[in-house]
Amino acid sequence: MSDTLPPPPADLLLNASLFLDFDGTLVEIAATPDAVEVSDTLRQLLHDLYQRLDGRVAIVSGRSVAEIAAMLDPVTLTVAGSHGLEIAAAGKPPVVPARTEGVDAALAALNDFARDRPGVLVEDKPFGVGLHYRQAPEQEADARALAAALADRHGLHLQLGKMVAELRLRGGDKGSALKALMAEPGRAATRPVFMGDDVTDEAAFAAACELGGAGILVGPARDTHARYRLDDVPAALAWLRRGAEALA
Ligand SMILES: O=P(O)(O)OC[C@H]1O[C@H](O[C@H]2O[C@H](CO)[C@@H](O)[C@H](O)[C@H]2O)[C@H](O)[C@@H](O)[C@@H]1O
């Protein structure tokens, strides 16, 4: 268990490449995907980190690149979206896979499931579909069972997250995205630091560790590949602010 994990040291960002999950790490979890609040204070923090780390800051999210870019506008950062399936350098269009008919078929089946289940929400994503049950937690077992069956039927990857079962194209995860970005010349000879909260972030914690860096778990203790832990979103933002100041 990670209950003995220390907080990250103050100098961890020196000579680092920083990778940040979004929901539950930089912004508080909200009732629905559209309801998250992005403050100008957060935009300023990301801008400062980007400047002081010479551009070595990337968002690595389950959301799409387009969605992250719109929420952080006018700040432009490198974004790996859709759980590592698409990667875009700052201000550039993403390199993306082709959406398959399987995703459309899964979307139709999940819409059928949600139709007569109040509180269940279907999120149509560029390379997958999310079945959210945060507002109908009693539907979790049925939602997960259906998502697992659809994943098998359509050759999709089942990605469980916080009150969501996502189906998405196979072919990448947050760990592979971190490794791809670390192979870019601008990050050579730096140490990856990944901050995230969900089980979907574990692949990136492991990848950061493998490349000589470290993961920072945001949230309660659990079994994790992270080396450090911070309690919650405010603690994560405060640590990042101190890190940005130390780099000034
Ligand atoms: O990798 P992340 O940046 O953490 O994104 C993961 C998923 O985040 C969103 O869903 C989660 O956040 C919602 C808003 O707080 C919440 O309502 C939901 O229950 C969470 O699962 C997003 O909707 C997904 O597409 C992302 O994959």
Cβ of 198 less than 6 Å from ligand 1: yes
Report, as an integer, the average pLDDT of 7-30: 97
> Which of 19, 23, 46, 159 most suits a substitution to test ligand 1, by most atoms within 8 Å of the C-beta?
23
Check whether 127 has a pLDDT greater than 90. Answer: yes
Q: How confident is the model at residue 91 (pLDDT cuts 50, 70, 90)?
A: confident
Report, as an integer, the average pLDDT of 220-226: 97
How many Å apart are CA 41 and CA 201, to the nearest integer?
24
Q: How confident is the model at residue 3 (pLDDT cuts 50, 70, 90)?
A: low
| H/E segment holding residue 130 | strand 128-132
Distance of CA 227 to the CA centre of its chain: 18
- Sketch out the chain's domains with CATH numbers: 16-96+172-247 (3.40.50.1000), 103-168 (3.30.70.1020)
- List residues with catalytic annotation: 21
Portion of the chain with pLDDT greater than 70, in percent: 99
Report, as an integer, the average pLDDT of 8-18: 96
Cβ of 81 less than 6 Å from ligand 1: no
